[in-house]
Structure 1
Amino acid sequence: MSESMNVAAKKIADEMVQNAEKLKVIPSTLSNGTCVIDCGVNAKGSIKGGELFTKVCLGGICDVGISIPGDLSDIMAMPAVKVKTDFPALTTLGSQKAGWKININGYYAIGSGPGQTHKFKDSEIYKITNYVEESDIAVITLEADTLPNEDIAQYIADECDVKTENLTILVAPTASLVGSIQISGRALETGIYKMHEILDFDITKITYAAGITPITPVDPDSLKAMGKTNDAIIFGGRAYYYIEPAEGENLEELATNLPSSASEKYGQSFIELFEEAGRDFYKMPKDIFAPAQIIVNDMVTGQMFHTGYIDLERLKESFEVKEIINKK
């Protein structure tokens, strides 16, 4: 692919700055020249802002939209994030993956976005997708409760080997509207990560992918918000993968093992599993992080495999739904 993901993402970030008032975001420039876009710390954020933030996470080379599914009832007939990409492996594991844990000088954040192409330029994902980042700019998204200062921006710029004035940072807490949207937009990523890291499948065979997940209700409690956003994918995410398998390769086994319900730990909420892991995200069972429902299209044979299911009851419990039925 010839287009730089950082360049594509920077165009979106610039659009957000230009339309800051409409998007309810607050852009600012640090004294070292770094552009910081507050999408939920002090800013209110917006639905469109969440859509654009998600697109930046995916490197700008994808389609992201918000809709209310018309073919589903009950709780799933709520706003949902739709993601479509023609570069599934690269946009998800090469950009959207929350692969950068930032913990410096008392500042903690989880980093995503195409800036990782600089930080982790020798990563396997860029080798197998034949992607080389040639730009001198970096765009990073942070899941954090506070905004970065000049020292944090300098650290990120140094790690990306770019000048601070060529760095753009977008920030949204988990407990915010934009945070809810961008995390719900990760259904495709979780499935592709599971294929790659757990099922040992060649993810370059995924030609196209599309996913949809309900937007998590915003919860001001950061811990509860983290639980709800992950449960949205585990119990309510749907992903469609169009795959060209190697000769003689049967995708039925892949599809069978791919949804979250294939995990032995399925049924427990994210918070329950998080507590069992001593509140260490990286000690949690990896195979639970996957979409609830999967459709795999074998583009060689034309077969389609449909596995997993939407678990409305567990979604209701996680989202703390109180149903009020008014009948005359």
Structure 2
Amino acid sequence: MSESMNVAAKKIADKMIADADKLKLIASTLSNGTLVIDCGVNAKGSIKGGELFTKVCLGGICDVGISIPGDLSDIMAMPAVKVKTDFPALTTLGSQKAGWKIEVDDYFAMASGPAQTHKFKNDEIYAMTNYKEDSDIAVITLEANKLPDEKVAQFIADECGVKTDNLTILVAPTASLVGSIQISGRALEVGIYKMYEVMGFDVTKITYAAGITPITPVDPDNLKAMGKTNDAIIFGGRTYYYIEPDEGESLEELATNLPSSSSENYGKSFLEFFEEADGDFYKIPKEVFAPAQVIVNDMVTGEMFHTGSIDLERLKKSFEVKEVKFL
């Protein structure tokens, strides 16, 4: 990787600031020099803003787009987030994964983005992918209901080992348009996370990956929004993984056990899991997070394994779809 993910993400963030009015975002600078981009707290946000936010989450080295419509069946079609990456393990586990829980006084956020390459620089994923962060800037995305202040920014900068005026923070609540888009853009991530954390698979063998997930309807209730956005992936996410296995290694078992429906707990909504975990997102069983449908292409043998399926009825129940019939 010739370019730092933080540098790539910073270019996107700077473009978001330059086009803030058009993207319905609000950019500001804290007294300590940290740039803050409000993508949904006080700002309205936008579809394009959600696309760019998702791209920043992935470290800027990927393709993110919106498909309109994203067909799920012949009776319901919705806009969907499309993600493609040639660096699957690095962009998802090394940047997009919400692996950092920010807690400063009464401020709470789930953090993603390439700033994690500073915070978790000794994480195995960077050694596996031969990535080393050599920039002195940090770009972080926060899923939070409030904007960070100077104290929060100082904490993040200190943890990353950068100056506060070299820090850029993007913020979007779960209950916002940008929040809905960026979470729906995580289907690839949860599949790769399950391969790595639950199944013990060498994710560096994934050469290319692509995914598409319906954009969750925006719900003003943060708890319900959290449930709907995660259900979008569990019941409606479709992912494609191009893998180069070792000689003689079959990918059939991997594919069989990867979709959400392979879990013995399949069928519960995300909110049910959340309640069972006493409201702690990080205590939810890891195998719960998985895309609904998976296609695995063995690039050595040419075989393709297709597992799982879109669960339209559970998706419609989660989204509280009310079908209106003409008289």
**Cα distance in structure 2, aligned partners of 1:321 and 1:45:** 23
Contact 1:80–1:213 under 8 Å retained in 2: yes
Aligned pairs for 1:76-91 within 5 A: 76-91=76-91
**Cα distance in structure 1, aligned partners of 2:167 and 2:70:** 40
Contact 1:75–1:312 under 8 Å retained in 2: no
**Cα distance in structure 2, aligned partners of 1:233 and 1:109:** 21
Query: Partner residue of 1:183?
Result: 183
Query: Partner residue of 2:100?
Result: 100
**Cα distance in structure 2, aligned partners of 1:75 and 1:87:** 35
CA-CA distance at 1:68 after TM superposition: 2.2
Query: Partner residue of 1:229?
Result: 229
CA-CA distance at 1:2 after TM superposition: 1.2
- Are 1:28 and 2:28 an aligned pair? yes
Give the TM-score normalised by structure 2: 0.99
Q: Deviations over 1:21-79 (max 9, x none)?
A: 00000000001000000000000000000000000000000000001246543565100
Moved over 3 A (4+): 69-72
Query: Partner residue of 1:64?
Result: 64
Q: Tell me, what secondary structure is at the counterpart of 1:73?
A: coil
- CA-based RMSD: 1.0
- Letter aligned with residue 304 of structure 1: M
- Letter aligned with residue 61 of structure 1: I
**Cα distance in structure 2, aligned partners of 1:185 and 1:70:** 13
CA-CA distance at 1:106 after TM superposition: 1.0
**Cα distance in structure 2, aligned partners of 1:285 and 1:162:** 34
Contact 1:236–1:292 under 8 Å retained in 2: yes
Query: Partner residue of 2:202?
Result: 202
Contact 1:55–1:61 under 8 Å retained in 2: yes
- Letter aligned with residue 37 of structure 2: I
CA-CA distance at 1:282 after TM superposition: 2.0
Aligned pairs for 1:298-317 within 5 A: 298-317=298-317
**Cα distance in structure 2, aligned partners of 1:288 and 1:70:** 24
**Cα distance in structure 1, aligned partners of 2:5 and 2:166:** 14
Q: Deviations over 1:82-114 (max 9, x none)?
A: 000000000000000000100111110000000
Contact 2:70–2:80 under 8 Å retained in 1: no
**Cα distance in structure 2, aligned partners of 1:202 and 1:179:** 30
**What is the count of residue pairs matched by the alignment?**
327
**Cα distance in structure 1, aligned partners of 2:299 and 2:242:** 6
Q: Tell me, what secondary structure is at the counterpart of 1:168?
A: strand
Contact 2:213–2:233 under 8 Å retained in 1: yes
Q: Deviations over 1:103-152 (max 9, x none)?
A: 11111000000000000000010010000000000000000000000011
- Letter aligned with residue 180 of structure 1: S
- Letter aligned with residue 268 of structure 2: Q
- Are 1:152 and 2:158 an aligned pair? no
CA-CA distance at 1:235 after TM superposition: 0.1
Contact 1:261–1:288 under 8 Å retained in 2: no
Cα distance change on mapping 1:250 and 1:230 into 2, 3 Å = same
**Cα distance in structure 1, aligned partners of 2:109 and 2:22:** 26
- Letter aligned with residue 155 of structure 1: F
User: Any stretches of 5+ residues in structure 2 without a counterpart?
Assistant: none
Q: Tell me, what secondary structure is at the counterpart of 1:67?
A: strand
Aligned pairs for 1:238-317 within 5 A: 238-317=238-317
Cα distance change on mapping 1:13 and 1:70 into 2, 3 Å = closer
- Letter aligned with residue 322 of structure 1: K
Contact 2:70–2:79 under 8 Å retained in 1: no
**Cα distance in structure 1, aligned partners of 2:32 and 2:75:** 46
User: Any stretches of 5+ residues in structure 1 without a counterpart?
Assistant: none
